[in-house]
Amino acid sequence: MDIKTNEHLQKVLIEHIAASENGIAVLDAKDQVIFYNQAFLNAFGLQNCPVYKQSYDDLLSWMFTTGVGMKAHTHKLEDWLAYIHSQYRSAPFRNYEVELVDGRWLLMTEQLNPDGEVVLVCNDITLFKRVELALQKAQIELARQAMTDELTGLPNRRHFMQQLDNECQRAHRYGHATSLAVIDIDHFKKINDGYGHLKGDDVLRHFAEVLTQQLRKNDVVGRLGGEEFALLLPETSQDSARAVIARLQQRLAGENLESIAPGFSYTFSAGVAECQSTPQFCCTDWIRTADEALYQAKAAGRNCVVVYGKA
């Protein structure tokens, strides 16, 4: 390559960089800006900032105090600078994404040259990022729908059974008393027949709310289907679980249900079973024993609680 060709190539490259839609900047070994193009200024909102010979920290501080450029995700400048320093110059070449305060996203490349210069190149990926985030949001929503009962917002049967299986294994591992209650709203068919299915849905939502409000932090409530619900009560003996259900009955008895229908009230029956310590005992057995206790509660006239093996 002769000198003229080399000079011409340099001219072409410089013109290309200056006019490029990709933001480009170069920092020297002391982290002072020695080159930038207009696209770099536009990308970070630095049009009114004296950029040339400014240090990297000065640029970051200016963006932070002015409210432009990179989104800091912290209220303290020193914390943000400390985070940037932990990543900056950490590899000879790296790619990373940057969220901007105005909602745009940039894909950054950072190249560390042998003599200490850093070349920064940024490319606007806002449209791609919005699609990515929308897909992630949709996936989260689909996962939520797959685990949630649409009417009540409670975990559905599938999700509840997964949690029940996990708790059964944990109870076997640590030998903790853990109880399960299966609950059925009494004479729910009569509610649907007498007041209509929309009012029946109101009753199901109301009961789900009562259950949710009364339970402790680690308790789990789910809708198994129809008018049948379940409560998982970790670290709880069957006698203590019976007391929990009794409090639920008292709470329900004191509810004002005029919004559903004048003079309306309803009750529930429950079967309680404690997780058995034998290794062969699984969550299917657990549900079965609680169901048997529930059947006995119904046979006893409903509106009562039966503990498995103590009827």
* Residue 64 dihedral angles phi and psi, to the nearest 5°: -65, -50
What dihedral do alpha carbons 286, 291, 294, 295 form, nearest 10°? -140
End-to-end CA distance of the chain: 98
Three-state SS for 293?
helix
How far, in whole angstroms, is CA 79 from its chain's centroid? 25
- The per-residue b/e assignment along 267-281, b for 16 or more CB within 10 angstroms, e otherwise, is ebbbbbbbbbeeeee
CA distances from 1 to 6, 7, 13, 17 (A): 7, 10, 16, 22
Cβ–Cβ under 8 Å, residues 91 and 113: no
Cα torsion through 303, 308, 309, 311, rounded to 10: 0
**Catalytic site residue 141?**
no
3-state secondary structure of 76: coil
Cα-atom radius of gyration of the chain, to the nearest Å?
A: 32
Strands 305-307 and 268-274: parallel
Residues in the chain: 311
Query: Which residues does residue 174 pair with via DSSP β-bridges, in sequence order?
Result: none
What values do phi and psi take at 99, rounded to 5? -95, 135
The SS3 call for residue 162 is helix
**Active-site residue, selected from the candidate residues 227, 228, 255, 258:** 227
Catalytic residues: 227
